[in-house]
């Protein structure tokens, strides 16, 4: 499921009302609550602070005194539609004196979150395998080329009596480098590790 790489702020003006959207990446309800408090302190004179939250199976939304179902739920629906995870959306509204009506509010809060998401860099997290490769210096060129071709990520390189690479890969490497080097490279599986990739 996609997540935002970093927090986003976006402002939308509709009929003299200002809708300021904050998208915040969060892994816990406690962190989300703290962020909402922070936004309320930042905008103490705003008319509404509406929220939508998704963390795994946990979903929350709040209309913050807008008519029921016109703010939090539409915001949440946008996040659902994009299949987002670990995200909190807070839309701060400064009322401009012109009422938008129920449909207008639903559209305003939905559009605010949609437009903010359009600005975000999205990532996905998958389990990659971590390996330690150990080999002679003569194999550096071939092994570097193979790792590049297989889209592996080199976490660290140590040069001592032998070369030692710590490598992350989305695929199994146990046999690949044994075959490439005729058994001259040892490939030790360490563990599975969460790896974040930009979409």
C-alpha distances out from residue 137 to 56, 166, 187, Å: 46, 15, 15
Q: What is the DSSP letter of 137?
A: G
* Residue 58, pLDDT score: 96
* Residue 199, pLDDT score: 85
First to last CA, the chain: 11
Return mean pLDDT, the chain: 95
> To which H or E segment does residue 7 belong?
none
* Residue 194, pLDDT score: 84
Mean pLDDT of 54-83: 96
Mean pLDDT of 151-178: 93
**What span, in angstroms and rounded, lies between the C-alpha atoms of 111 and 116?**
8
Tell me the whole-structure pTM to 2 decimals: 0.77
Helix, coil or strand: residue 40: helix
List, for residues 84-134, the tens digit of each pLDDT value. 999 999 999 999 999 999 999 999 999 999 999 999 999 998 889 999 999
């Amino acid at each position: 499921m996609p997540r935002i790489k970093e927090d986003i702020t976006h402002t939308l003006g509709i009929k003299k009302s200002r809708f300021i959207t904050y998208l915040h990446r969060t892994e816990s309800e406690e962190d989300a609550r703290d962020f909402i408090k922070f936004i309320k302190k930042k905008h103490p004179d705003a008319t509404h602070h509406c929220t939508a939250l998704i963390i795994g199976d946990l979903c929350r939304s709040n209309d913050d005194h807008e008519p029921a179902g016109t703010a939090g739920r539409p915001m949440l629906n946008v996040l659902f539609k994009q299949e987002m995870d670990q995200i909190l959306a807070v839309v701060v509204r400064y009322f401009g004196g012109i009422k938008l009506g129920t449909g207008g509010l639903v559209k305003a809060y939905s559009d605010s979150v949609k437009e903010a998401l359009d600005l975000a860099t999205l990532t996905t997290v998958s389990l990659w395998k971590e390996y330690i490769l150990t080999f002679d210096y003569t194999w550096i060129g071939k092994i570097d080329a193979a790792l590049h071709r297989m889209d592996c990520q080199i976490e660290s390189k140590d040069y001592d009596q032998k070369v030692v690479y710590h490598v992350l890969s989305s695929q199994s490497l146990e046999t690949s480098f044994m075959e490439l080097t005729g058994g001259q490279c040892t490939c030790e599986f360490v563990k599975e590790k969460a790896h974040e990739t930009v979409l």
